[in-house]
Amino acid sequence: MLGIPSFGLLVALLLSLAGIARAADGDILERKPMAVPAGASYVAEQIVYESDGLRIAGFLAYPKTAPTGQVRLPCVIWNRGGNREFGAITQEFFLVRAARLSGWGYVLFASNYRGAPGSEGKEEFGGADVADVLNGLRVFDQLPFADAARIGMWGHSRGGMMTYLALTRTDRIRAAIVGAGPTDLDRWIHERPEMESEVTAQLVPQWEAQRAKAIAERSALRFVDRLPKNVPILLVHGSADKRVSPRDSLDMAQALFASRRPFRLLIVEGADHAISERSDDYNLAARDWLDRYVRDRAALPDLTPHGR
């Protein structure tokens, strides 16, 4: 005769069942259509997806023809800049990029990392929140019209830092674009002390005790050797950027060159942090990069000295 299960066994059973029911990282939990301009040729959605047990707000866009098309479309994941509410993705912000990227023929996904509006959790400015980028890649796996084997990653400002960090932890990216991305946090803080008092000291766990380690972990110049050699990176920076020194991209270009990693550097003369004065140049370079290495899967260039 079977006895009555103990309380501990019942708890274990319930926890086991809860684990089975728990969503996996990257699972889309909610999808809600967004209003787009009349006559728009794309669909935009607000979504909620799973990341480390947190509900993270995301944004999705794709051409209207995508769901019924027979051809899977290339994809781009956009990494936002800023921190907390500053620079967080809004509907207005996203729709501008949605129109552009879907018009280029891409499926676009963007995340408001943990701690930002609409997302659970606590932001760490390049710490555990990098998982929200990596888990966002799995959103593409759930879309029948998305070619999850052709993914590009584009990050601007802090989003560039997130891009460098993500590239060290995934092999799913075919090409990357970094606009005005910080690569040396020690210099950044020296030039803009408010970045420490108002951002890193407030967001990075154990900042005072782990300051040097946290800076090294978030400075791409310190981990160039861990970046993949098969992912070409487009670096774009305005020469008049007052938020992130253009030297961050210049130094990164030198490091990528020295380590024989494929890259292209575009310094836009007189442009600010957002490259707002020459946004057409920025977007043309970005589209060419994505089309070449993501959409068309072009072979990597020969980086050894050659020719006549």
**Splitting the chain (308 residues) into consecutive groups of 10 residues, what average pLDDT does each group show?**
46 45 89 95 97 97 90 96 92 96 98 96 96 98 96 98 98 98 96 94 96 97 97 98 97 97 97 96 98 98 92
Phi, psi at 146, each rounded to 5°: -100, 135
Q: Rounded to whole angstroms, how far apart are CA atoms 161 and 6?
A: 51
Residue at 1 is within a domain: no
Nearest to 178 by CA among 194, 198, 196, 156: 156
Any residues with CB less than 8 A from the CB of 58 and at least 6 apart, and which?
A: 46, 47, 48, 49, 109, 110, 111, 112, 136, 139
Residue at 47 is within a domain: yes
Other C-beta atoms lying within 10 Å of the C-beta of residue 270: 9
Count of domains forming the chain: 1
Other C-beta atoms lying within 10 Å of the C-beta of residue 187: 18
Residue at 242 is within a domain: yes
Range of the domain at 200: 30-295
Residue at 157 is within a domain: yes
Residue at 140 is within a domain: yes
Q: Using the CB atoms, write b or e for 132-154: b if 16+ within 10 Å.
A: bbbbbbbbbeebebbbbebbbbb
Domain with 177 in it: what CATH number? 3.40.50.1820
Residue at 25 is within a domain: no
Q: Rounded to whole angstroms, how far apart are CA atoms 246 and 176?
A: 18
Residue at 270 is within a domain: yes
Residue at 11 is within a domain: no
- What is the reported pLDDT for 70? 81
- What is the reported pLDDT for 21? 58
Residue with tokens 């956009």: 78
Any residues with CB less than 8 A from the CB of 191 and at least 6 apart, and which?
A: 245
